[in-house]
Chains A and B, each alone.
Chain A
Amino acid sequence: MSLVELEINGNKVSQDVEDRQLLVHFIRDDLNLTGTHVGCDTSQCGACVVHVDGKAVKSCSMLALQANNSKITTIEGLADGENLHPVQEAFRENHGLQCGFCTPGMIMAAVDIINRNSILDEKTVREELEGNLCRCTGYQNIVKSIIAASEKM
């Protein structure tokens, strides 16, 4: 066991973890933030995407200890109280989700995409979503949501 200390959605946590504990399991099982999902065991689906020090990463492929002393944002940390984040709002407005399983990862990826690209077109969004799989929507409305959000942000 080793001590991990980090800040998640603005809250400081300090806890012992097994060295082999994956960040996603630390977030879900130890911190009870179950918005972050696990959709595969091949590091391909992106349901587990969170931001570590502002960078989008797959939390299923990172150890909790690698995130020691970092600042993490998960899907739970985006909204401001009752007010949804513009990307969350855009997904709701544009029907950007069906079952919702991929959505937390999609939205965390989308925030990162919008942060890195001042102008977004459909082609760029589709390329940038390479690491996020959705089994329901056919991506059409996800892409629409992200472009709509980028125009508001």
Chain B
Amino acid sequence: MYQFNYKKVETVQEAVNELSANPESKILAGGMTIIPTMKQRLASPEQLIDIRNIEELNFIREESNNIIIGSTTNHFTVSSSDLIKEKIPSLSMLAEGIGDPHVRNMGTIGGAISNNDPTADYPAACLGLGAKIKTSKRDLTAEEFFVSLFETALEEDEIVISISFPIIKNSFYMKFPNPASRYAMAGVFISKNESDVRVAVTGASENGVFRWNEMEESLSNDWSKSSVENVKLSPEGIMSDIHGSSEYRANLANIMAIRAFEGINE
């Protein structure tokens, strides 16, 4: 790892000030992505600003039909929260399926969405439930927040404060984990809120997480298994690498969609 300075901050304001003062700084939350990346010398920030101890960012609460999760809340806390288990069980299941117990003890929801890894799980829940993301500057919809592969709308001196998920019980997430890394080879999140159907796909596209419009339309017209089976994801623009071809991944997405649909209706 290259040399850098480490700085622990106690408040959001302090974190933002540090980021503005030194553009070569990076936020350190759980470290489960940034530290391995720095160990490989694929990133070399001059300073890491540790936000894990900012009390005001570590919370889960219910507010006017939403579950709001502070950005430094770790995956274990989300997966074991009784409130989330009751209100949005699909979200607690998703958190429980991230990596392994040690990763879940450190990795945070804010870190996971800020990183916008094309194979990460939380971005699918954000798009699939229609989450709102509150940053140190503004409120963004999930569609505005996730821009492309490893790219978000976050500016250099902007940090994620919290994520607000509408309470939609009729929702389910199904991923096919890569057998070695456990990251999604394809993951599909489906939710149904009265007539509003959302379908988000992670792990598959070359441009990162996306809403699968065709599937949404098909399910809005007719909420049935055959509506899911009739839509096929085109392999065009789907990732292809040593783990699987575009055709393979597109097919996995089709199957994950069927299983997610079955999960809701079980």
Partners in one complex: yes
Across-interface contacts of B40 in A (CB, < 8 A): 41
Contacting residues of chain B (117-136) with chain A, CB-CB under 8 angstroms: none
Residue among A20, A22, A60, A109 making CB contact with B3, cutoff 8 Å: A20
Whether the Cβ atoms of A61 and B106 lie closer than 8 Å is yes
Of the listed stretches A28-36, A43-51, A137-145, chain B binds A43-51
Across-interface contacts of B32 in A (CB, < 8 A): 43, 61
Of the listed stretches B57-65, B95-103, B157-165, B201-209, chain A binds B95-103
> Given contacts A42-B36, A61-B36, A62-B35, are A109 and B102 in contact (CB under 8 A)?
yes
Whether the Cβ atoms of A20 and B106 lie closer than 8 Å is no
Expressed in whole angstroms, the Cα–Cα distance for A46 and B5 within the complex equals 27
Interface digits, B1-40 against A, CB 8 Å rule (1 contact, 0 not)?
A: 1111110100000000000000000001001100110011
Distance in angstroms from B46 CB to nearest chain A CB is 11
Distance in angstroms from A78 CB to nearest chain B CB is 17
Residue among B8, B99, B106 making CB contact with A57, cutoff 8 Å: B106
Expressed in whole angstroms, the Cα–Cα distance for A42 and B100 within the complex equals 13
Q: Give A68's nearest chain B residue, CB to CB.
A: B8
B192 at the interface (CB under 8 A from A): no
Whether the Cβ atoms of B106 and A19 lie closer than 8 Å is no
B50 at the interface (CB under 8 A from A): yes
Q: Give B74's nearest chain A residue, CB to CB.
A: A55
Across-interface contacts of A44 in B (CB, < 8 A): 180-181
A112 at the interface (CB under 8 A from B): yes
Q: Give A53's nearest chain B residue, CB to CB.
A: B105
- Given A41-B36, A130-B101, 7 more A-B residue pairs with CB atoms under 8 Å apart are A18-B3, A19-B5, A22-B1, A56-B102, A63-B6, A65-B6, A130-B99
18 examples of A-B residue contacts, CB within 8 angstroms:
A18-B3, A20-B6, A22-B1, A41-B36, A44-B181, A46-B100, A55-B76, A55-B105, A56-B105, A58-B106, A60-B39, A61-B31, A63-B35, A65-B50, A66-B50, A109-B101, A130-B99, A132-B100
A131 at the interface (CB under 8 A from B): yes
Across-interface contacts of B48 in A (CB, < 8 A): 19, 63
Expressed in whole angstroms, the Cα–Cα distance for A128 and B4 within the complex equals 34
Q: Which of B31, B99, B101, B180 has the most CB of A within 10 A?
A: B101
Distance in angstroms from B247 CB to nearest chain A CB is 28
Whether the Cβ atoms of B181 and A41 lie closer than 8 Å is no
Q: Which of B3, B4, B103 has the most CB of A within 10 A?
A: B103
> Given contacts A57-B105, A130-B99, are A41 and B31 in contact (CB under 8 A)?
no
Closest 8 CB pairs of A and B: A131-B100, A130-B100, A19-B6, A55-B105, A58-B102, A20-B1, A43-B36, A131-B102
Interface digits, A2-23 against B, CB 8 Å rule (1 contact, 0 not)?
A: 1000000000000000111010
Interface digits, B103-116 against A, CB 8 Å rule (1 contact, 0 not)?
A: 10110000000000
Distance in angstroms from B38 CB to nearest chain A CB is 8
Expressed in whole angstroms, the Cα–Cα distance for A128 and B101 within the complex equals 7
Across-interface contacts of A68 in B (CB, < 8 A): 8
Q: Give B100's nearest chain A residue, CB to CB.
A: A131
